[in-house]
Amino acid sequence: MGQGEVDINKNCLPDDGLPIVEVSNARKTYVLGNLEIPVLSDINLKIERGEFLAIMGPSGSGKSTLVNLIGCLDRPTEGQILVKGKDLNRMSDQELARLRGLEIGFVFQTFNLVPRLTALENVLLPTFANSRDGIDPVKRARELLEIMGLHDRMHHKPGELSGGQSQRVSIARALINDPAILLADEPTGNLDSRTGAEILRIFMDLNMEGRTIIIVTHDPEIAKYADRVILVKDGIIQYN
């Protein structure tokens, strides 16, 4: 990746010895009219700082709901979730949005790039809502795109990029606020095997430098590279 001259991992080192994510007796139930639909039941999970965790499970298993909870996109109906020691249930919506914006970088299967914006502008998007003090967003965005091998694609729009290039832009965008956690949902699902392997190598390199990586995948080949694999089925963790 060529990261030698640029430190993109300032926020990835352990700072207090606690798990970076801790889920305790968490349940999630959705209410539709008079109907209650339980999705997750009694989830307990600790994710250590610097861990590479793979989450697997069939469609409808509850893994997407678990990812939404870990990613601060939702709150549990019961139980407790701590992210970097902060209790999600005790935070206001504004505090939760800031925690999510600064501490978690998201990478999606479909890239989720804005078609009318250039690669550089897409990478900068998260900084419009949240940004860290002391970081020049434009300088950092340029550095990240250079690290991703996209120095000559900064001013190209998504329609002018390949799938692999689009995913590299997505990873750069996820890193722009120097998050402690990268949460990737099927990040190689729309890529051919060679390009998917290149993207996986990026995640592995970031993890080796200390970044916490959480990947949702159906691919057992990707899971082989994780420190640990958990299987979510019927709303519970089968093993971890």
Band of residue 219 on the pLDDT scale cut at 50, 70, 90? confident
How far is Cα 106 from Cα 33, in angstroms, rounded to an integer? 31
How far is Cα 183 from Cα 238, in angstroms, rounded to an integer? 21
Tens-digit pLDDT profile for residues 68-101: 999 999 999 999 999 999 999 999 999 999 999 9
Beta strands in the chain (DSSP E): 21-32, 35-47, 52-56, 78-83, 86-87, 104-108, 181-185, 212-216, 228-233, 236-239
Band of residue 142 on the pLDDT scale cut at 50, 70, 90? very high
What pLDDT is attached to residue 8? 55
How far is Cα 156 from Cα 202, in angstroms, rounded to an integer? 21
**Domain coordinates in residue numbering, the chain:** 50-74+98-236
pTM assigned to the model = 0.90
Band of residue 17 on the pLDDT scale cut at 50, 70, 90? confident
- CB neighbour list of residue 89: distance below 8 Å, 6 or more residues apart: 75, 76, 80, 81
Diameter over CA atoms, the chain? 58
What pLDDT is attached to residue 223? 86
Query: How many Å from the N-terminal Cα to the C-terminal Cα in the chain?
Result: 31
Per CATH, the number for 50-74+98-236 is 3.40.50.300
- Side by side, the strands of the sheet bearing 21-32 are 35-47, 21-32, 78-83, 86-87
